[in-house]
Structure 1
Amino acid sequence: MAGYGSDAALKAYWDAAGYTYAADAPFAALRQRGSAYLDGTYGMRFPGQPTGGIAQEREWPRRGATAYGATLASDLVPTRVEQASYEAAYIELKKPGSLSISFDPAQRVKRQKVDVIEREFFEPGNYGNVWAPNAPVSSLIEGLLAPLIGPVWGEPGIMVV
């Protein structure tokens, strides 16, 4: 499996962003994890369909994809997709395993009370990442992908991006 972009482009992006990393970091593995996170979290929100259909390894390139009202070439992997995967790869570098959240729905805390201290958590509902509600959300990744994924409508009148 190959992640979006290249190791050289990943390093150049991280350098430009001022990110720190070890020279021997597993760049290809990080690109793979970042790309898998991106495809799994945002794939259903990307416009069009993968050019190779269900057998295609990654969500991009796509046919029928648009951005800013223009049709994108069917052999294009947008720079924004590559850069978003580099952001996800950096999240994974800094906190290994953070992009692959596993949880048991039966163990979710609605309310917890210990003596007089009480906490209650909001359910993610339609206000978080509606396609992968327990996946981490990065405003940088969301911003990079915004022209490709568009808004998500949650509760009536509430736009979630």
Structure 2
Amino acid sequence: MALNTTPGDPAADSYPTLVEAKAYWDSIGRDYSGIADDELEQALRRGTAWLDGTYGARFIGKASTFDQALEWPRQDAVYRGKTLPSNAIPQKVKNAASEAAWREATEPNSLSPDYVPAEGVKQEQVGPLSVTYKDGAGGVADVLPVVTAVDGLLRGLVASKASLNFATAARG
């Protein structure tokens, strides 16, 4: 099934087209020659879904239409002092989705691994060797990857996590 990359479409499932993703991968030296196009398209769907799930609540502006499937296009989104078009996807978002898709193409489901807290191991011993692992909160956030390449590509298009913790109040 072909990708639907129409901005604002209720059935859209990827930000970049396969041609756009390949152009991005070519520009940074990724070799996708051994991966079938249908596998790359599936990875683009998963990468786009991960991108929206991870960054969607932090994207600048607001969704352009109520029924659009993806978080972009956005309205009232200002980047570098300019209002972005409310009917287009920024190239940086397409590149970030391509970057996420690359990880999914080379290691499927690596961006969204299943995690069962009860199966977590804090310390284990095999014979005389004992290993204690990094102490975390014991939640899903402890196993989710941080993809710094995607963070860098989206800089300026997402609000910081800290800004989501504060609300504004008005006095009447």
Give the TM-score band, short-chain normalised.
0.7 to 0.9
Unaligned runs of 5+ in 1: 126-131, 155-161
Deviations 1:34-64 (A, max 9, x none): 10010011101101221122x3211100112
Match of 2:162 among 153, 157, 161: 153
Aligned residue type for 2:144: A
Cα distance in 1, alignment partners of residues 50 and 137 from structure 2: 19
1:13 aligns with 2:24: yes
Cα offset, 1:32, TM superposition: 0.8
Cα offset, 1:120, TM superposition: 3.0
Q: Which residue of 2 aligns with 1:123?
A: 136
Cα distance in 1, alignment partners of residues 135 and 147 from structure 2: 19
Deviations 1:50-106 (A, max 9, x none): 1122x3211100112222233222112111000000001111111112122111233
Q: Secondary structure at the match of 1:117?
A: strand
Unaligned runs of 5+ in 2: 1-11, 164-172
CA contact (8 A) 2:60 2:159 kept: no
Structure 1, 132-141 or 95-104: larger mean CA deviation? 132-141
Cα distance in 2, alignment partners of residues 122 and 112 from structure 1: 10
User: Where do 1:10-159 residues align within 5 Å?
Assistant: 10-21=21-32, 22=34, 24-26=36-38, 27-53=40-66, 55-109=67-121, 111-114=122-125, 117-123=130-136, 133=141, 134-153=143-162
**CA-based RMSD:** 2.2
Cα distance in 2, alignment partners of residues 153 and 122 from structure 1: 23
Aligned residue type for 1:30: A
State the identity as a percent.
36
What count of residue pairs does the alignment treat as equivalent?
146
Normalising to structure 2: TM-score of the pair? 0.75
Decide which structure has the larger Cα Rg and report it: 2
Cα distance in 2, alignment partners of residues 107 and 47 from structure 1: 37
Cα distance in 2, alignment partners of residues 44 and 141 from structure 1: 16
Cα offset, 1:116, TM superposition: 5.1
Cα distance in 1, alignment partners of residues 27 and 146 from structure 2: 22
CA contact (8 A) 1:41 1:135 kept: no
Normalising to structure 1: TM-score of the pair? 0.79
